[in-house]
């Protein structure tokens, strides 16, 4: 049995506009987790966290990575040993970039390896999705690519597509955090039939656009009627940010997951060297933010040792 594991897992952007709770893609930004089994007898954990938002990550049993590992030990019927956990957190928390999904996915994978790999990937992704509450971040986080996900009688079903290699993803990361729980509370219980039809049309078009690379349709296909209109009130600067990106060559703009980050897609060839600096100067007039240029990635979990 392995006693030391290192795992790298990608950030994810969920929804991609109208794909609420069902579309998600892995991005080229990673959290790193290391776990060592300690010889100490009795339940004991030491958690060390460095990097972005490190102060906000629990260092006790409430730690998401530990919690997910513990779930696996419980499922297998083994007592969790004393552990030392080291986390390098590069994905900002509560910005809709899948930081909690990285901890759940890394936790179920690490727990399974420590237990001698009794569970299948399918069992692991179901446990991770249950911990997270929705599958659209954990699936691309585990498997990479752009994933279409659903729950059938509570079980995860998904299809992974190759992500567009010719697109760059501008991520606008506001200073302000927004918890998913809070962003889900502003959603309505019902939507109109007209909005539901518009959403079905757009999300279908979006998947077709990604597969066919007809990127000229992205601007229309990414318009959402289920969550963004309601979540706007939490981000009053959002229209200005969308307009600034669209006026500066973006193919489309969307809320990343439940926010507060925004993503804008560009053809890689459109981005000149100083683009990041230039767009940030324009965006910071509306929101206190950082910007990063990332790419879609086709690999999810990377187990290093």
Print burial letters for 171-196: b (CB count within 10 Å at least 16), e (below 16). Answer: bbbbeeebebeebeeeeeeebeeeee
Q: How many positions of this chain bind ligand HSE (CB under 6 A)?
A: 14
Q: Measured from the CB atom, is 137 or 199 closer to ligand HSE?
A: 137
Q: Measured from the CB atom, is 96 or 111 closer to ligand HSE?
A: 96
Is the CB of residue 7 less than 8 Å from the CB of residue 303? yes
Q: Which stretch binds ligand HSE (CB under 6 A): 12-20, 83-91, 215-223, 282-290?
A: 12-20
Q: Examine residue 21 and tell whether it contacts ligand HSE (CB under 6 A).
A: yes
Quick one: which of 172, 257, 283, 287 contacts ligand HSE (CB under 6 A)? 257
* Rounded Cα distance, 270 and 265, in Å: 10
Is the CB of residue 202 less than 8 Å from the CB of residue 184? no
Q: Which stretch binds ligand HSE (CB under 6 A): 15-23, 69-77, 153-161, 204-212?
A: 15-23
Burial class (CB in 10 A: 0-12, 13-18, 19+), 95: buried
Q: Examine residue 292 and tell whether it contacts ligand HSE (CB under 6 A).
A: no
Site residues for ligand HSE, 154-193, by CB under 6 A, read 180, 183-184
Largest CA distance in the chain: 61
DSSP 164: P
* Rounded Cα distance, 12 and 99, in Å: 8
Least Cβ distance, residue 79 to ligand HSE (angstroms) = 33
Q: Measured from the CB atom, is 114 or 169 closer to ligand HSE?
A: 169
Question: Omega into 208 within 30° of 0, i.e. cis?
Answer: no
Tokens read off for 176: 């302000």
Collapsed DSSP state (helix, strand, coil) of residue 176: coil
CA dist 215 → 31, 81, 91, 180, 266 (Å): 30, 50, 28, 29, 10
Q: Examine residue 260 and tell whether it contacts ligand HSE (CB under 6 A).
A: no
Q: Examine residue 136 and tell whether it contacts ligand HSE (CB under 6 A).
A: yes
First to last CA, the chain: 12
> Could you tell me whether strands 4-14 and 302-303 are parallel, antiparallel, or unpaired per DSSP bridges?
antiparallel
Q: Measured from the CB atom, is 245 or 255 closer to ligand HSE?
A: 255
> Could you tell me whether strands 45-51 and 83-89 are parallel, antiparallel, or unpaired per DSSP bridges?
parallel
Q: Examine residue 95 and tell whether it contacts ligand HSE (CB under 6 A).
A: no
Q: Measured from the CB atom, is 67 or 184 closer to ligand HSE?
A: 184
Least Cβ distance, residue 45 to ligand HSE (angstroms) = 27
If residue 131 lies in a helix (H) or strand (E), which one and from where to where? helix 121-132
Site residues for ligand HSE, 218-237, by CB under 6 A, read 227
Q: Measured from the CB atom, is 224 or 292 closer to ligand HSE?
A: 224
Quick one: which of 14, 27, 72, 128 contacts ligand HSE (CB under 6 A)? 14
Quick one: which of 258, 265, 289, 294 contacts ligand HSE (CB under 6 A)? 258
Contact partners, residue 195, CB within 8 Å, separation at least 6: 225, 226
Q: Measured from the CB atom, is 76 or 161 closer to ligand HSE?
A: 161
Q: Measured from the CB atom, is 178 or 245 closer to ligand HSE?
A: 178
Least Cβ distance, residue 228 to ligand HSE (angstroms) = 9
Q: Which residues bind ligand HSE (CB under 6 A)?
A: 14-15, 20-21, 96, 134, 136-137, 180, 183-184, 227, 257-258
């Amino acid at each position: 049995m392995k006693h030391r594991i290192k795992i790298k897992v990608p950030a994810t952007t969920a929804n991609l506009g109208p794909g609420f709770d069902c579309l998600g893609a892995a991005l080229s930004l990673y959290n790193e987790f290391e776990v060592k089994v300690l010889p100490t007898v009795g339940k004991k954990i030491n958690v060390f966290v460095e990097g972005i938002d490190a102060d906000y990550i629990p260092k006790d049993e409430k730690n998401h990575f530990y919690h997910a590992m513990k779930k696996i030990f419980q499922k297998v019927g083994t007592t969790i040993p004393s552990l030392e956990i080291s986390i390098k957190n590069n994905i900002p928390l509560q910005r809709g970039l899948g930081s909690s999904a990285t901890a759940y996915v890394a936790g179920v994978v690490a727990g399974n390896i420590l237990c001698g790999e009794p569970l299948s990937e399918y069992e692991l992704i179901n446990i991770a999705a249950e911990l997270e509450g929705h599958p659209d971040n954990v699936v691309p986080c585990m498997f990479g690519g752009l994933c279409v996900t659903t729950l059938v009688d509570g079980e995860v079903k998904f299809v992974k597509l190759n992500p567009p290699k010719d697109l760059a993803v501008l991520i606008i990361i506001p200073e302000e955090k927004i918890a998913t729980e809070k962003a889900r509370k502003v959603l309505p219980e019902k939507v109109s039939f007209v909005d539901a039809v518009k959403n079905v049309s757009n999300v279908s078009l979006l998947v077709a656009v990604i597969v066919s690379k007809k990127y000229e349709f992205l601007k229309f296909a990414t318009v959402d009627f289920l969550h963004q209109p309601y979540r706007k009130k939490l981000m009053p600067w959002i229209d200005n940010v969308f307009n600034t990106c669209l006026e500066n060559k973006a193919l489309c703009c969307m809320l990343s997951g439940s926010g507060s980050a925004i993503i804008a897609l560009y053809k890689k060839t459109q981005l000149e060297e100083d683009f990041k600096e230039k767009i940030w100067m324009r965006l910071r007039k509306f929101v206190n933010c950082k910007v990063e240029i990332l790419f879609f990635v086709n690999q999810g979990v990377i187990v290093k040792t």
